[in-house]
Structure 1
């Protein structure tokens, strides 16, 4: 049974599913077609330490680096808009959380925002496709939002949990880079 979440909610993944060692984190959205600039959304996963910052620039997974340096996080499919495979058993112990963001690519058709984005979601499923949790990002006034944290997988002692976020940035990728201490 899928758990539907609200912003800030947490869900136990491995405590509820003791044999769970791999998950698929799927991201999806609809973009209203436009004759002008249209949002080109780009997903990004950041592997963070206890301080909530990226461990290094090598601890990113995105279109130019589709697998983390340790192989535990990788883009695998686009059955949803994007799917990221996470081997929970292979995530290095120094990784406290994996944050899943989506930003509007400023290099494609000019600066865009989430204003034209509808039905954005993040979901966590088992390898065989059984959905564990789903978070539909609230579609408020996103005219100035150009990057957003959809959710995160995080360690709580020896268990993995998921937290729904929906936290937007008006400072785009620059704000994300500053918050997670990554260089662009």
Structure 2
């Protein structure tokens, strides 16, 4: 049975799941009834961060236009432009055993594509979540439902994987940004 997290909670990932090497981080959401005439296109991304909390190289920012880290340890499985349907809307696969030692954390975000132009924000999104699955078995290990705490935000850091000695842990973040993907990138040391 999956561990259900609240904002700010941290949980061990690999220590309690010996032999866990490959995971899938699934992100999902629904759009509230909204009469703006534009489709919602939400995007998942991963930032491979060094000990200072920054992305050392652009190629360590994984998203729909850069779907794999250089060594292949983090892979975005594809862009879902509508969020329609059941289950995860977008997924990012992580091979924990292949993540370079220079990477201390992997932060996961969801952003609204062209949010300003389309006058959209996370107040118009519901049922958003992040979950961590064992890639080999499909078993859900961790789930974090973000709730409806967002109104004007156009980007959310949903959670992060981080190293603790030889083990990996997961932290439920749930932190919103009003300046979209550009704001996330800036905070993580990237110029867009």
Q: TM-score range by the shorter chain?
A: over 0.9
1:175, 1:34 → 2: CA distance? 25
Query: In structure 2, how many angstroms separate the alpha carbons of the residues matched to 1:98 and 1:2?
Result: 21
- In the alignment, what sits opposite 1:183? 191
List gaps (5 residues or longer) in structure 1. Answer: none
> What corresponds to 1:145 in structure 2?
153
Q: What is the CA–CA distance in structure 2 between the aligned matches of 1:133 and 1:152, rounded to whole Å?
A: 12
Q: Distance in 2 between matches of 1:13 and 1:148?
A: 22
- Segment drifting more, 68-77 vs 8-17: 68-77
Q: Which of 124, 127, 132 is the equivalent residue of 2:141? A: 132
Q: Tell me if 1:51 matches 2:59.
A: no
Q: Secondary structure at the match of 1:58?
A: helix
Alignment of structure 1 residues 135-174 onto 2, 5 Å: 135-140=144-149, 142-174=150-182
How far apart in 2 are the matches of 1:39 and 1:146?
Answer: 11
Tell me the secondary structure at the aligned position of residue 115 of structure 1.
helix
Question: Which consecutive unaligned segments of at least 5 residues does structure 2 have?
Answer: 81-86
Mapping for residues 24-173 of structure 1, pairs under 5 Å: 24-36=24-36, 37-76=38-77, 80-106=88-114, 110-127=118-135, 128-140=137-149, 142-173=150-181
Deviations 1:75-129 (A, max 9, x none): 2367510111100000000000100001111179624210111010000010121
- Report the TM-score, using the length of structure 2 for normalisation: 0.90
How much does 1:52 deviate? 0.8
Normalised by the size of structure 1, how large is the TM-score?
A: 0.93
Distance 2:6 2:74 in 1: 25
Aligned length: 183
**Structure 1 residues 113 and 38: alpha-carbon distance in aligned structure 2, compared to 1, 3 A threshold:** farther
Equivalents in 2 of 1:64, 1:165: separation in Å? 24
